[in-house]
């Protein structure tokens, strides 16, 4: 499965030069596990807590920092991806999935807090965001949230840091 990732950094000095590779690896695995087998494109922006708070306030009306935001390009049904239901890049034909925004500051803090480190946390957030782009949601405490958490756990099982890329 081919995935084009357009990555931008909102600010200088955010560090974590390996972030692109980690996001790409996790997003590819999430898409593959969800049965996405066509060329796709998504964008990701790296920022800090201040930057993601401003975006959260502007687009969601929530004046608080968070770890990741997802902006799906399509309205999809979780677990039943169909490329025919998606917008495509007119030049490349790639399915346009949407946008991800990561607070690297929050990611590093949560990786430390949860004891699994930055790399694991960033890959988890990329999986989480990719599932949102594919129609999953967790806004209520019901079945959809349990289903999304179960998918995240299954996908992450194959993404432990240091595991060879060819095993994915």
Residue 165, pLDDT score: 47
Residue 125, pLDDT score: 98
Q: Residue 43 class from Cβ within 10 Å (0-12 exposed, 13-18 middle, 19+ buried)?
A: middle
Residue 42, pLDDT score: 97
Indicate whether this model's pTM tops 0.85: yes
Domain positions in the chain are 3-159
φ, ψ at 72 (rounded to 5°): -65, 145
φ, ψ at 59 (rounded to 5°): -95, -20
8 A C-beta contact, residue 1 and residue 97: no
Residue 140, pLDDT score: 66
The Cα 22–Cα 125 span in angstroms is 10
Q: Residue 123 class from Cβ within 10 Å (0-12 exposed, 13-18 middle, 19+ buried)?
A: buried
φ, ψ at 79 (rounded to 5°): 80, 0
Alpha-helical regions (H) of 11-99: 19-33, 49-60
pLDDT by 10s per residue, the chain, length 168? 799 999 999 988 888 899 999 999 999 999 999 999 999 999 999 999 999 999 999 999 999 999 999 999 999 999 999 999 999 999 999 999 999 999 999 999 999 999 999 999 999 999 999 999 999 987 666 787 888 999 999 999 988 655 544 433
β 3-9/68-72 pair status:
unpaired
Residue 167, pLDDT score: 39
8 A C-beta contact, residue 22 and residue 126: yes
The Cα 16–Cα 92 span in angstroms is 30
Tokens, residue 111 = 């990786």
Domain 3-159 has CATH 3.40.390.30: yes
């Amino acid at each position: 499965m081919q995935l084009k990732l357009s990555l931008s950094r909102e600010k200088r000095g955010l560090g974590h030069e390996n972030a692109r590779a980690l996001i790409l690896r996790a997003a590819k695995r999430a898409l593959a596990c969800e049965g996405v087998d066509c060329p796709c494109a998504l964008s990701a922006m790296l920022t800090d807590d201040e930057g993601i708070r401003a975006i959260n306030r502007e687009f969601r009306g929530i004046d608080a920092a968070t770890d990741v935001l997802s902006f799906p390009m399509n309205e999809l049904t979780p677990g039943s991806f169909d490329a025919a239901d998606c917008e495509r890049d007119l030049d490349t034909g790639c399915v346009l999935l949407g946008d991800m925004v990561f607070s690297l500051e929050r990611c590093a803090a949560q990786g430390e807090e949860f004891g699994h480190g930055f790399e694991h946390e960033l890959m988890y957030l990329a999986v989480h965001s990719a599932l949102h782009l594919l129609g999953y949601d967790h806004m209520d405490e019901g079945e959809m949230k349990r289903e999304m958490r179960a998918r995240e756990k299954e996908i992450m099982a194959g993404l432990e840091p240091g595991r060879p890329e060819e095993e994915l």
